[in-house]
A = this chain, B = another copy of it.
């Protein structure tokens, strides 16, 4: 069903229903990873979850809501990594910020690279409330951080543009590195280089 808001019909409150909803979400995640969006259908999800199709629709009013919910949770987790990273900074050195930021991105992409890839596809962006929107939120984080470190940035850097550029650079490069590189040394090499790229861009040294 095409909608503009995809949210749970009712929140699971009892222990039992929490378990049920989790089973469904786990099964859905598994199928999304194993078979992609194409192979995803509510009947298979219910079967994998060991739950009746009716129970699935008790909590998720349509297929899209189920996917939206998984997307929401996945990206909430990613945002958490960025928040943590910022909270744990010990110096106010720009390099530490950049490194921490990139490490947070790596951590996020390592949680479940395949799921991440599937969920990064276009579908079902709608149901995400503004503040939940993964890109929007992380991007504004980046911008805020750059403002705070402005004195360490190269002069005449347009911060809005820089924030977007840095965000794209990091997010997409990390994504590709983790998806495409099987050898972890290669991954590490790319990540390491990426840190240099970003830092030298911001400082222009």
CA distance A189 to B181 in the complex (A): 30
Which residues, 157 to 185 on A, are CB-close (under 8 Å) to B?
Answer: 158, 161-162, 164-165, 168-169, 172-173, 175-177, 180-181
Stretch at the interface among A22-30, A71-79, A195-203: A195-203
Known contacts A38-B123, A122-B117, A168-B177; decide if A196 and B201 are in contact (CB<8 Å): yes
Which residues, 54 to 77 on A, are CB-close (under 8 Å) to B?
Answer: none
A204 within 8 A of B: yes
A145 within 8 A of B: no
Closest to A194 in B: B165
Choose one: B36, B162, B172, B173; the contact of A193 (CB below 8 Å). B162
A51 within 8 A of B: no
A190 within 8 A of B: yes
Determine whether the beta carbon of B164 is less than 8 Å from that of A190: yes
CA distance A197 to B162 in the complex (A): 11
Determine whether the beta carbon of B165 is less than 8 Å from that of A172: no
A118 within 8 A of B: yes
A-B CB contact pairs (8 Å), 19 listed: A36-B123, A117-B122, A121-B121, A121-B122, A158-B189, A161-B186, A161-B189, A161-B190, A161-B193, A162-B193, A164-B180, A165-B173, A165-B193, A168-B173, A169-B169, A169-B172, A169-B197, A193-B201, A197-B197
Residues of A that sit less than 8 Å from B by CB: 36, 38, 117-118, 121-123, 158, 161-162, 164-165, 168-169, 172-173, 175-177, 180-181, 186, 189-190, 193-194, 196-197, 200-201, 204
